[in-house]
Amino acid sequence: MRWPGASPASRAGMSVGLVQHYFRSKDDMLLHAFERVSTAVAVRVFGIVGEGTRHERSIAEVLLAALAEHLPLDGPRRAEFRVTRVFAGRALDSPALAEVDARTAAALHAEIARAVGNGMECGEVESDVDADTAAARIAAVAEGLATQVHRGGPGAAGRARAVLRDELAAVFTGECRQYVRWGPFPSLAGYC
């Protein structure tokens, strides 16, 4: 019987035995790939948030850039998207992978909800917006757009960015007061 890791091993220029040494099963190999992709995206998003703060960007702008990291807009992100899709597909039949998939989705939801909550504090989001509902909607739109971009077609990437921008604009309707300078009281600068 052929080990399911044979094809990935040959594509990586490795022997099946070497791959089997590190991964007992295809699920183990897939989990490892998914964790690497998740870490790479998280590192890029962390950098975007830091840059956004340094350049005094609104939360909506930072969130748009962060969510774009989940869209397959270039070769590396396209490869990452393929890993996440294969992982999600396998998670349908593997309780262990399903648990990781659910935790990952919940973490993304929590980060978006936190951004919406922060938007309320600084004036970008109306106080009556339900952060969890808004986060669910934004995450669903981003996930669907990632699939559409992956399928391709003329203008898919540009449309995805525009749709995501519009979706965020429906939630982030106000102006950010986080970086407002308060005249002669510099100690209040950046206070929400």
- In angstroms, rounded to a whole number, what is the distance separating the alpha carbons of residues 23 and 37? 17
Distance between CA 137 and CA 131 in Å, rounded? 10
Residue-level pLDDT at 15 = 56
Give the pLDDT score at 3. 43
Question: For residue 166, what pLDDT is reported?
Answer: 98
Task: Name the region of 148 (left: φ>0; alpha: ψ -120 to 50; beta: rest).
Answer: alpha
Which of helix, strand or coil describes residue 115?
helix
Q: What token pair was written down for 96?
A: 């262990």
* pLDDT for the residue numbered 4: 47
Q: What residue segments make up the domains of the chain, in order of their start? A: 21-173
Question: For the chain, which residues score pLDDT lower than 50?
Answer: 1-5, 187-192
- CA-atom Rg of the chain in angstroms: 20
* pLDDT (0 to 100) of residue 74: 93
What is the topology classification, in CATH, of domain 21-173?
A: Tetracycline Repressor; domain 2 (1.10.357)
Q: What is the pLDDT of residue 185?
A: 52
Give the C-alpha separation, 183 to 45, whole Å: 33
